[in-house]
Chain A
Amino acid sequence: MYRYDEYDQSAVDARVEEFRDQVARRLSGQLTEDQFKPLRLMNGLYLQLHAYMLRVAVPYGTVSSRQMRMLGHIARRYDRGYGHFTTRQNIQFNWIKLEDAPDILAELATVEMHAIQTSGNCIRNISADQFAGAAADEVADPRPWAELLRQWSTFHPEFSYLPRKFKIAVIAADEDRAAMRLHDIGLKLVERDGVLGAEVYAGGGMGRTPMVAPLIRDFVPADDLLSYLEAALRVYNRYGRRDNIYKARIKILIHEIGADAYRAQVEDEFAAVKALGIDPPAAELARITEMFALPPLDRQAPDAVDRSDPDFAVWLDQNVRPHKVPNHAVVTVSLKPAGGIPGDASADQIDLMADLAERYGHDELRVTHAQNIVLPHVAKRDLHAVWTALAAAGLAEANLDLISDIIACPGLDYCSLANARSIPLAQKIQARFAEPERQRDLGELKLKISGCINACGHHHAGHIGVLGVDRKGVENFQLLLGGSGAEDASLGRIAGPGFSEDGVVDAIERVTDRYLAVREDGERFLDTYRRVGFETFKEAIYG
């Protein structure tokens, strides 16, 4: 894992002290809320329905055991005993007191963490494939590149006041586990003729105007990547709209001028930027890359796993994926227990996951955009011990990518932007499909719920998506079908008129019943949907 150098640490420490002074001036009345709000947001501090909320950055979703324990400590000491892992691979604390915020940031800084780039119109925390460094199908570990982008983007003077927020994702495998093409810029590392580089996609996103990012450049050699991105951001910064917040994202710019025109502008700018020499020297990239080396795995450990415990075997099949080293595995810890709150973990659970990573996982954890936690490097001989410990803590739900593995934003229970509650709906859907065999029979089915059009719950990318709206003060839920955030990215289509909370659960069941009736061998829900089409399911929903 990356470790701070003196520049990183001093920058984060200085930011903490700056914010401490800003908070003191706000509490003493020297600053108005209008003056203070942009300052607190630059430090990840929002004001939500019930309290301040602190969003802590987890760069590219990678966190160490020591850092994870700090998150548990903050949940316990400063919050109400839990944290909420988000669809941006970050963590949020929902009950923060303003006067505590500087101390929390100071504690985070002791473990090389912060809340920078978690709000504001800057380049946000870089996201990445949660299986990075462990996946058998990657051409390279995307995290050194994500870290390079972090260093480039943090406090970038030209890109701190963009027209709107800017999200970048990096993957390095054909299977897209990071919703790469639904980001402002998506990078897919590829190798061409022995040279590492990236496919660059730009102009994707969700929100009120969802778009799948088009390919802007088929191959940017790694040696040119920072220069190319600098050029891509400059063009956006110059031409992105600042007069209308709803039209300010890069997706609108690219949609309006066209991908070809944007590409041509970026190429012109790139020619100028490349001469500036901002791409890192090989030694610096090597220094970063070295910190992401595969940990010293025991390659002599037994490969066989005793599957005689049926519950364990189900969990193995559902939540454990192959590792690039065959006698190891990648474990996903589901934060979607039946009746729970998607993405929430108690301080004790956070500590337990930190302990398991330390004991069995080479000190590493990952946060996924699907609001789960990954232990990326577990020897197969240790899987049963890990499962046993997780089960005792209520963390062994065997539902990865099943209908109960629901992404849900905090919704109207917490969020000041929301129009409807997401979490109670997720719980009702889980209850309706509670039977594990039924879930497994349905197979991969990604259900995603947002409580408002801002789409933090990724409803556009759900095989089945749900959008909560406010209809004359009453919660109402629209159903969307056919979205995907994976390598076959697509946007869901609104099925028709909305439903009450109970009504949308019934409608979802009519959709899954129709799927079971018409699916062919080996088809996932999404495959069947794409084969038979929207109308078949619309008819099932509305008759």
Chain B
Amino acid sequence: MKLLTGNDLASGDVVWWTGQGWSRHLGDAVDVGHDGEALARAEEGARRVNVPYVIEATATPDGPRPAHIKDRIRALGPTVRPDLSLKPADPAAGAWVI
């Protein structure tokens, strides 16, 4: 599957395209199929998100898993500061990145 991601203009937060807007949670992301580049151009024009780009991901029972470690770290937060990640209460969350 393909996902569209970027960083929110005002906050810089990592965001994912949900089909209708942007979410901070990877689990809300949808497969953009072949529409990613067009969506990215449109969203770039709307100027809500910085430098949106398309990534490869795998659909899993637990939700999308980005193919590259960089995007998995973007999705979760710094592995060395689990308290600042999106899953601060889950000590095993960092293992998902690796």
Residues of A at under 8 Å CB distance from B?
Answer: 26-27, 29, 32-33, 47-52, 80, 95-99, 341, 412-414, 418, 421, 423-424, 427, 473-475
Contacts and interface: CB of A to CB of B under 8 A. Distances in A.
Interface residues of B, number: 23
Contacts of B79: 413, 421, 424
Contact of B50 (A33, A95, A413, A414): A33
Nearest to A33: B50
A29 B43 CA distance: 12
A52 B11 CA distance: 8
Nearest to A45: B12
Nearest to B71: A49
Nearest to B49: A33
Contacts of A47: 7, 12, 50-51
A50 B13 contact: yes
Nearest to B13: A51
B74 A49 contact: yes
A49 B73 contact: yes
Interface of B: 7, 9-14, 44, 47, 50-51, 67-70, 73-74, 77-81, 84
Nearest to B83: A80
Contacts of B12: 47-48, 50-52, 95-98
B80 A29 contact: no
B70 A49 contact: yes
28 contacts: A47-B50, A49-B70, A50-B13, A50-B77, A51-B12, A51-B13, A52-B12, A95-B12, A96-B12, A97-B10, A97-B12, A98-B10, A98-B12, A99-B10, A341-B80, A341-B81, A412-B70, A413-B78, A413-B79, A413-B80, A414-B78, A418-B70, A423-B80, A427-B80, A473-B67, A473-B68, A474-B69, A475-B69
Nearest to A53: B12
A254 to B, nearest CB: 34
A49 B70 CA distance: 8
Contacts of A32: 44, 47
Q: Which are the 10 A-B pairs with shortest beta-carbon distances? A: A51-B12, A413-B78, A52-B12, A29-B47, A423-B80, A97-B11, A49-B74, A413-B80, A33-B50, A473-B68
Given A424-B79, A427-B80, A27 B10 contact: yes
Contacts of A341: 80-81
B11 A98 contact: yes
A473 B11 CA distance: 28
Nearest to A49: B74
B51 A33 contact: yes
Provide the main secondary structure of the chain B interface.
loop
Given A412-B70, A473-B69, A49 B14 contact: yes
Contacts of B67: 473
Contacts of A418: 70
Nearest to A28: B47
B35 to A, nearest CB: 21
Contacts of A95: 12, 84
A49 to B, nearest CB: 5
A50 B75 CA distance: 9
Contacts of B47: 29, 32-33
Given A33-B50, A48-B12, 12 more contacts: A27-B10, A29-B47, A47-B50, A47-B51, A49-B14, A51-B7, A51-B11, A98-B9, A98-B11, A413-B80, A414-B78, A427-B80
A468 B89 CA distance: 29
Contacts of A96: 12
A96 B7 CA distance: 12
A242 B70 CA distance: 30
B23 to A, nearest CB: 15
Nearest to B48: A29
B79 to A, nearest CB: 6
Given A412-B69, A424-B80, A27 B9 contact: yes
Contacts of B13: 50-51
Q: Name which of A32, A98, A341 has the most chain B CB atoms within 10 A of its CB.
A: A98
Nearest to B74: A49
Nearest to B86: A50
A475 B97 CA distance: 12
Contacts of B7: 47, 51
Contacts of B50: 33, 47
Contacts of A412: 69-70, 73
A62 B58 CA distance: 49
Contacts of A26: 9
B9 A413 contact: no
B98 to A, nearest CB: 8
A35 to B, nearest CB: 11
A219 B59 CA distance: 65
A96 B13 CA distance: 10
B49 to A, nearest CB: 9
Nearest to B67: A473
A284 to B, nearest CB: 41
A15 to B, nearest CB: 21
Contacts of A97: 10-12
Nearest to B79: A413
Contacts of B80: 341, 413, 421, 423-424, 427
Contacts of A33: 44, 47, 50-51
